[in-house]
Amino acid sequence: MVGINPDGTLRGKVALVTGASRGIGEAIAVRLAMEGAKVVVSARTAEAGESKLPGTLHDTIDRIRAMGGQAAFVKADLSTEADRERLVAEATAAFGAVDILVNNAAVTFFIPVETFPKKRFDLMMEVQVWAPFHLSQLVLPSMREKKSGWIVNISSPAGIHPKQPYNRRGGGTVYGMCKAALERFTTGLASEVYDDGIAVNVISPGLVDTPGVAVHGLINEQTKDRVQPIGFIAEAVYRLASGDPKTMTGRVDYAEPLLKELGIAPAELV
C-alpha cells in the first residue's frame, strides 16, 4: 500500500512548499511527506470559503497527517515582506531550519501588454520573482551553516521565447517574463552557493489539470491531449530536492523529460 515512509530518503528534513493549498503545490507537499520530510505548507487559503477555488491548507495537511506524515501550515500572503519573514520564522519554529524550499506560489493575469495595469504587473513580479528571491535569502543562512540544502523553483514553458507563427491574441507576456526571470535567478544562485552544498534547480510541469489551470481555460479541445498527471511534477520536484547538490544543480528541466532521463516512473500519491 502506498503511504508515508517515515524512514524515507527525506527523513529528518524540513520542507517548505508555497502555494500548497491545492493543485501542484499540494501534490509536491504530499510527495515530499511520503519520503519522511516534515512539511510546512503555505498559501492564502487556509479555510473553506476563503477562495472560489477548491482546496485549503487544512485539506493538504489533513491528507498528509491521515497517512501518518508530519505537516503544518502557515497562512501567508507572499506579496508582503512581513508575511514572507513570518512564514520562514514559523516554519522554523514548527519543525526546525528549512532544508528544502519549493517556490511554487503564483498569481497570474493574462492581459495584453497594451492594457496591462501596473498594479497587477507589480503583484505578479512580487509573488513570482521577488518572493522566491526573498524566501531564498531567508533560508540560505541555515543551509550554508549546515552545508546542505535544496531550493526548487517552479517555472513554466511560458518562459521560453515565443516562436513564429505568433499568437496574436497575446496576454501571456508578463507571465513569461516572470518565469524567465525565475529561471535566470535559479542558475545564478546555483553558481553562488555551489561550494556550500546547496542545490538550486528549476522545474516546469506539463499541462496539468488543476483548479488554477481551469480558471484560465488552458485545457481545451486543442490542448486536452497534452494533459499530464500531476504525479509527474511532484516526482520531479522530489528528485531535485533529494539529489546530489554537486551533480544535480543549476538545471532548468521539464518534469516528464527529467523522469525519463533518470529512468523513474512517478510514485502514486497518497
**Confidence band (pLDDT; 50, 70, 90) for 223?**
very low
**Confidence band (pLDDT; 50, 70, 90) for 176?**
very high
Instruction: Determine which of 180-189, 220-229, 234-243 has the lowest per-residue pLDDT on average.
Output: 220-229
Catalytic residue among 175, 194, 238, 254: 175
3-state DSSP percent of the chain in helix, strand and coil, to 5: 45, 15, 40
- Written out in words, the top-level CATH class of the domain with range 14-262 is alpha beta
Cell numbers at 69, concatenated = 506524515
Region for residue 96 given its phi and psi (left: phi exceeds 0; alpha: psi -120 to 50; beta: otherwise): left
pLDDT tens for 107-120 read 999 999 999 999 99
Closest by Cα among 200, 216, 194, 192 to 153? 200
In the chain, the percentage of residues whose pLDDT exceeds 90 is 82
Alpha-carbon distance 25 to 33, whole Å?
Answer: 12
Alpha-carbon distance 139 to 200, whole Å?
Answer: 12
Active site residue 194: no
pTM over 0.75: yes
pLDDT score at 53 = 84
Where is pLDDT greater, at 195 or 49?
195
pLDDT score at 45 = 86
pLDDT score at 207 = 65
pLDDT score at 148 = 98
